[in-house]
Chains A and B, each alone.
Chain A
Amino acid sequence: MMLWVDKHQPRALDKIIAHEEIAQNLKKLGRSPKTLRQVSVHDCPGLLFYGPTGSGKKTLVMALLKQMFGPGVEKASSHHCLFSFLLWLDVKLENKMWKIDTGTHWIELELTMLLSTHHVDMNPSDAGFQDRYIVQEIIKEMARNRPVDTKGKKRVQRLVIQICVKQPKLDEKKMTIKFLELLLVLVLNEVDKLSREGQHSLCRTMEKYSASCRLILCCNSSSKVTEAVRSRCLNIRVNAPTEEQIIKVLEFIGKKENLQLPPGLTARIAAHSNRNLRRAILSFETCRVQQYPFTVNQALPPLDWEQYVSEIASDIMKEQSPKRLFSVRGKIYELLVNCIPPGIILKKLLSELLKKLDSELKHEVCHWAAYYIDFNVQILGEVLARNLTCVL
């Protein structure tokens, strides 16, 4: 039993519905070349995918990898199948300990990564402030362990020639596959959360090991990625799918699942999803679990924390007194205790308040929200105090 989000994740670039244009362009990039002369994958620079959450960056990356390395990678599956794509890319999940000599002392880092013969997928910012070492040491080591070294160009050439000489019957297509086997793709997630030093080291690593490894970077906001990294990559903007595209995807899933869709339901889910495809599919599935067959005006299940935040907003609007501040504070702490990130609470609260305030105050509330978002959890209470005085 899989979630629909995973079950219906498109496996190939051709099957992607929401970002057809990007997929077509990527296809040109990842095409298995017909002759060695057009090893297009090879002289492409690194890729940087950026876009809001739930817009399909990871799906595109995985589909691209499959396109590049072909169905050859799609054989036996591993035992740790947490994600569906592990099943079709022959990937294994590994928890690796790294011991790194920093010169003065040894540090130990534990990092979870997905490995296949052709790619490594990891989240370097997990290492916190030590992410620099991940980039410097681990990536370097992995890139170095490939059969191609830093002066890789010549060796690749020699290897290919060797292959040709030894197996003269090998046709060109197979040869390119051999050629591709020498290449390692590193998928790094959340590069925007990498520290400045981490990003700095990334730049040079990218250039130095360009012969043996390709980097694919994913992030939410490219403003937080330094100019130096951005200028070394092919930037691919993955926009959030439009509502029409979401509707199309939902209908596609409905058809696959043999569901009877009442008119307007998919449109409502799409409108409710904030252009987040993942969220749309999840709430679609929740609807299915809640009540099937669907009715025309079926209620969409709201997320409980969102409801809670909008309650807080209306509390604030109703009365502005120290007593109310105290009760609001309690409610916010309850949200925080339940592990809702403060930034998300603040944004949601802002959008709720903006619906209700008069225009002059909107400016003020917006300003303070932008001001406080950098601060710590504890200050959230004060944000509210400010809001209250504003409304007064």
Chain B
Amino acid sequence: MAPVVQSSQPWVEKYRPRQVKDVAHQDEVVRVLTNTLETANCPHMLFYGPPGTGKTTTALAISHQLFGPELYKSRVLELNASDDRGINVVRTKIKDFAAVAVGSGSRQGYPCPPYKIIILDEADSMTEDAQNALRRTMETYSKVTRFFFICNYISRIIEPLASRCAKFRFKPLSEGIMSSRILHICSEEGLTLDSEALSTLSSISQGDLRRAITYLQSAARLFGSSITSKDLISVSGVIPQEVVQAVFTACKSGDFDVANKEVTNVIAEGYPVSQMLYQLLEVIVNNDDISDEQKARICKKLGEADKCLIDGADEYLQLMDVASHTIRALCGLPEELRFD
């Protein structure tokens, strides 16, 4: 007898909902799309929202449900950032695909409406030119083609495209729904997860279900079937609270060298500095001993440092700069050195 091969897929793929009605927490979208399934009529759609909230899943599920496995290949074109999507592709590939006329008539219980679907995943990484080239295409072939745009930031989609679509915002998942999903996966995979670990998991993943599942799988691979909240923290890259506190205390002491030592240590331990900035921000905002003005000064600097990091600045220097500004803010030193 041939042995059963365990699925080689990551759990994120394995537990991706296959049907629109299984998509968690996005009631509005689900209602509209279920309606679509019944009437087989749908507008152009634009899904936006933070990562891991089910945008791609919904788009894939609806196209599968509309066309079924047989027609899926010929009716759905899925393009994402890993495919080249310059203006040329829009002019040739997308246009060609959009232009083909298709017949209607349901088959094998699938509605199979008389149009094709083009899914443009991660549409916010398309160039503006490419988006502009799409405008006319969308209108010309609107009889036979529907576009699904998926993006994180709606502001990066040009207005003419956005106004042609029905927009749906995907909300970050609430803790309750996240927990129930996680528990479902745990029972399927035979994992034990205590309530503390569960709440840690939903707090570190911040409403991103994909991240939560990835952490869970990583932890399961590394630490076996019973997972504690410490294991989850170690795989997630969140910095332990003690380390953040140590940096904050060093800044509070007002001694530059102490802070320097602490920062050097953070860098040597390899903690991601952008994460450090976030957690430092939380500590500072929630601290009652600091006056509002001081908080404002520090937060301004944190923001600047975060921007610099995204632009590719050096981690050590940025963190050091933040630390030095924090010291100055906390000890009431002037922000700029005055030359008398």
Do A235 and B236 have beta carbons less than 8 Å apart?
yes
Do B273 and A221 have beta carbons less than 8 Å apart?
yes
Q: How far is the CA of A153 from the CA of B8 in the complex (A)?
A: 7
Which of A43, A274, A350, A369 has the most C-beta atoms of chain B within 10 angstroms of its own C-beta? A43
Residue A181 interfacial (CB < 8 Å)? no
Residue A354 interfacial (CB < 8 Å)? yes
Do B51 and A210 have beta carbons less than 8 Å apart?
no
Residue B43 interfacial (CB < 8 Å)? no
Do B237 and A103 have beta carbons less than 8 Å apart?
no
Q: Known contacts A239-B268, A367-B324; is A234 also within 8 Å of B88 by CB?
A: no
Contact partner of B311 (CB less than 8 A), chosen from A51, A157, A235, A374, is A374
Using C-beta atoms within 8 Å of the partner chain, give the interface range for chain B: 35 or more
Q: Which of these binds chain A: B79-87, B103-111, B155-163, B283-291? A: B79-87
Residue B52 interfacial (CB < 8 Å)? yes
Residue A320 interfacial (CB < 8 Å)? no
Using C-beta atoms within 8 Å of the partner chain, give the interface range for chain A: 35 or more
Do A211 and B9 have beta carbons less than 8 Å apart?
yes
Do A227 and B5 have beta carbons less than 8 Å apart?
no
Do A373 and B80 have beta carbons less than 8 Å apart?
no
Q: Known contacts A103-B88, A165-B2, A370-B313; is A231 also within 8 Å of B214 by CB?
A: yes
Residue A268 interfacial (CB < 8 Å)? no
Q: How far is the CA of A360 from the CA of B340 in the complex (A)?
A: 14
Residues on A with C-beta less than 8 A from B246 are none
Residue A240 interfacial (CB < 8 Å)? yes
Do A234 and B309 have beta carbons less than 8 Å apart?
no
Do B273 and A35 have beta carbons less than 8 Å apart?
no
Q: Which of these binds chain B: A115-123, A200-208, A247-255, A332-340? A: A200-208
Q: What residue of chain A has the Cβ atom nearest to residue B322's Cβ?
A: A370
Question: In whole Å, how far is B231's beta carbon from the nearest beta carbon of chain A?
Answer: 10
Q: How far is the CA of A234 from the CA of B223 in the complex (A)?
A: 13
Do B218 and A234 have beta carbons less than 8 Å apart?
yes
Do A161 and B2 have beta carbons less than 8 Å apart?
yes
Residue B187 interfacial (CB < 8 Å)? no
Question: In whole Å, how far is B124's beta carbon from the nearest beta carbon of chain A?
Answer: 10
Do A227 and B317 have beta carbons less than 8 Å apart?
no
Residues on B with C-beta less than 8 A from A153 are 7-9
Q: Known contacts A102-B86, A224-B309; is A39 also within 8 Å of B8 by CB?
A: yes
Q: What residue of chain B has the Cβ atom nearest to residue A37's Cβ?
A: B6
Residue B235 interfacial (CB < 8 Å)? yes
Question: Which chain A residues in 161-181 approach chain B with CB under 8 Å?
Answer: 161, 164-165, 172, 175, 179
Residue B262 interfacial (CB < 8 Å)? no
Q: How far is the CA of A140 from the CA of B121 in the complex (A)?
A: 18
Q: Known contacts A44-B221, A224-B309, A364-B337; is A208 also within 8 Å of B82 by CB?
A: yes
Q: Known contacts A239-B268, A347-B314; is A43 also within 8 Å of B11 by CB?
A: yes
* Residues on A facing B (Cβ under 8 Å): 25, 28-29, 35-40, 42-45, 50-52, 55, 102-104, 135-136, 140, 152-153, 156-157, 160-161, 164-165, 172, 175, 179, 197, 200-205, 207-208, 210-211, 221-224, 227-228, 230-235, 237-240, 274-275, 343, 347, 350, 354, 359-364, 366-367, 369-371, 373-374, 389-390, 392
6 residue pairs, one from A and one from B, having the closest CB atoms: A204-B82, A370-B321, A51-B270, A223-B274, A103-B88, A42-B8
Q: List 20 A-B contacts (CB under 8 A).
A: A28-B224, A36-B6, A37-B6, A42-B6, A43-B217, A45-B12, A103-B86, A153-B9, A201-B81, A223-B275, A223-B315, A224-B312, A232-B12, A233-B214, A235-B218, A347-B317, A359-B255, A369-B317, A370-B313, A374-B311
